[in-house]
Structure 1
């Protein structure tokens, strides 16, 4: 990826941080003065550090391509998190299904072991539901 004006403006904060890491002698004022122009930035870095123009341009190109690879790394991480979330959701769904099946089996077993009590509970629940529905329908 070539380093150009658009790259400079679009990734200024990241580039500025990388320049400070590489060349600590660059001040914020120096970088702010050169912010608008690639040529001014390269010239200012050369003047302050004594680096060859080719090395400065090569480093800036590396920084610019690192930004693009950074975006792809973030996208890759997001895809990984999405996959993990999908797996977790599948696990939760499986556990919920197991719990429902377990509840069904337990209820079936209880009905088989205590049929009279189960019938009484069912009758009571139906009676209460009927009374509530009757009261609701009557109030309308």
Structure 2
């Protein structure tokens, strides 16, 4: 799995190669064209006077050169996603198991001590009613 430093280094190197090819580009301008290839190519054409095909070929060459870095980034992202998915699934299973166990304990308690359970429920309802009445009265 690629480290964040390796990924950042690959991206920095790719940006450097783009700047080397078209020196008038800066970081802000590179960010502005995120994901819009045609707009990016058109902007480079305006700035350099190169044809669409020349710009597209240069970008294709850079993409080919940095394909291993991009693939490594994609693989790392996929690994992180898979780990997160597995971890969240395990957490859900643990919580579900704990809730089922607590439910079973509560059910057993009610079956073994029904009178006490009714008394506790009645007392909790009475306390909740008094609290609600006090809150409503204070308004």
In the superposition, the TM-score normalised over structure 1's length comes to 0.53
**Which of the two has higher C-alpha Rg?**
1
Match of 1:127 in 2: 126
Match of 1:116 in 2: 115
In structure 1, list runs of 5 or more residues that go unmatched.
1-7, 13-34, 38-63
Q: CA deviation at 1:125?
A: 0.5
Distance in 1 (alpha carbons) for counterparts of 2:125 and 2:95? 27
In structure 2, list runs of 5 or more residues that go unmatched.
1-12, 22-62
How many residues get paired? Answer: 86
Q: CA deviation at 1:66?
A: 5.6
Distance in 1 (alpha carbons) for counterparts of 2:83 and 2:14? 36
1:11-68 CA-partner distances (Å, limit 9, x unpaired): 35xxxxxxxxxxxxxxxxxxxxxx958xxxxxxxxxxxxxxxxxxxxxxxxxx85633
Is 2:88 the partner of 1:89? Answer: yes
Of 101-110 and 71-80, the range deviating more from structure 2: 71-80
Q: CA deviation at 1:124?
A: 1.0
Aligned counterpart for 2:15 among listed residues 10, 16, 19: 10
TM-aligned CA distance change 1:112 to 1:68, over 3 Å: same
Kindly report the root-mean-square deviation, in angstroms, between the aligned alpha carbons of the 2 structures: 2.5
Match of 2:73 in 1: 74
Q: CA deviation at 1:122?
A: 0.7
Distance in 2 (alpha carbons) for counterparts of 1:36 and 1:94? 52
Q: CA deviation at 1:10?
A: 2.5
Q: Which has the higher contact order (CA 8 A, sep 6+)?
A: 2
CA contact (8 A) 1:9 1:36 kept: no
Q: The residue matched to 1:11 in structure 2 has which SS?
A: helix
Distance in 1 (alpha carbons) for counterparts of 2:107 and 2:69? 57
